[in-house]
Structure 1
Amino acid sequence: MAISDMPMLSALRTKMQWHQERQRVLAENISNSDTPNFRPRDLVEPKFDKAGNTSVTAGGMGSLPMMRASGTNILPTGGSASFNQNSRVGYETRPAGNAVNLEDEMLKVSANQMDYAAATSLYTRSLGLLKTAIGKR
């Protein structure tokens, strides 16, 4: 078994790849903040089991692939298209139909950056410990 195939390192690598893709999606949200009718998107965070593998769904259908979460919600029956489904008071869709809130997106970007830094630090330290264990350091 290769060192990179170890469950912990594989989980950290998956997490880092997820953070990289999420950073790209959040940057798209920010860059389209003035685009009419644009809805912000985000990624579904991968879930891991105790072994470090992506977790199995409740129905036992296997692991979930990384997918984009839609920023739009399904309208309730009888609802109008102008109804804002956002649960936060004070944040609403602008008249042009754009629902990007720059403050929220920038908070997500900074939190994502810190989480990515933590994952890369753990990955680097894990590799260092493995090198020490096999006498390469």
Structure 2
Amino acid sequence: MAVTDVPLFQALKSKMLWHQTRQGVLAENIANADTPGYGARDVKEYTFAEHIGRETFGLSTLTTNAGHLTGTLAGQTNAKVEGRDTFEVTPNGNSVNLEEQMMKITENQMDYQAATTLYTKGLGLIRKALSKSA
């Protein structure tokens, strides 16, 4: 069993993938800040409780058409993009508030950095424990 197969590390990897997905959605919101009728979106909140119930061991896609690409599901999350009701709507129907989106991006970045720090520190502790046992 690889060290990265430990459930804690799998949960942290899923959390980091969720943050990457959210970063993309928030970037789309900012890119469409001037698009008439565009509604701000966000990703459904990630919880570790939902991660515990999922099993992604050995899953892969099936090629049913010659034009399809094969691959694995290791890099995907179950993140669901949702439209958000907002208080502010511009006269052209756009509901993107740039200040709010920038705050969400900053929060997302800080949470991602916290997850990567936990992941790195955990691996470091395991490496240290294994090197001292020899």
TM-score interval for Structure 1 and Structure 2 normalised by the shorter chain: 0.7 to 0.9
Secondary structure of 1:134's aligned partner: helix
1:25 aligns with 2:38: no
**How far apart are residue 105 of structure 1 and its match?**
0.4
TM-score, normalised with respect to structure 2: 0.75
Asked if the contact 1:47/1:55 (under 8 Å) is kept, the reply is: no
1:54 aligns with 2:51: yes
**Amino acid of the residue matched to residue 88 of structure 2?**
E
Q: Could you tell me which of 104, 123, 129 is aligned with 1:133?
A: 129
**Amino acid of the residue matched to residue 45 of structure 2?**
E
C-alpha separation in 1, matches of 2:37 and 2:92 = 6
1:116 aligns with 2:129: no
**How far apart are residue 48 of structure 1 and its match?**
1.4
C-alpha separation in 2, matches of 1:122 and 1:106 = 24
- 1:98-125 Cα offsets, whole Å, 9 max, x none, are 0000011000000001001111111100
**Amino acid of the residue matched to residue 33 of structure 1?**
A
**Amino acid of the residue matched to residue 26 of structure 2?**
L
* Structure showing the higher helix proportion among its residues: 2
Asked if the contact 1:37/1:97 (under 8 Å) is kept, the reply is: yes
**Amino acid of the residue matched to residue 38 of structure 1?**
Y
- Following TM superposition, the consecutive aligned residue runs of length 4 or more in structure 1 with deviations greater than 4 angstroms are none
**Amino acid of the residue matched to residue 69 of structure 1?**
E
Q: What is the aligned-residue RMSD (CA, Å)?
A: 2.0
Asked if the contact 2:44/2:80 (under 8 Å) is kept, the reply is: yes
**How far apart are residue 68 of structure 1 and its match?**
1.0
TM-score, normalised with respect to structure 1: 0.74
Secondary structure of 1:105's aligned partner: helix
Secondary structure of 1:106's aligned partner: helix
1:66 aligns with 2:79: yes
Tell me how many residue pairs correspond in the alignment. 111
Asked if the contact 2:21/2:79 (under 8 Å) is kept, the reply is: no
**Amino acid of the residue matched to residue 108 of structure 2?**
N
Q: Percent identity among equivalent residues? A: 48
User: Which residues of structure 2 form unaligned runs of 5+?
Assistant: 56-76
C-alpha separation in 2, matches of 1:128 and 1:46 = 26
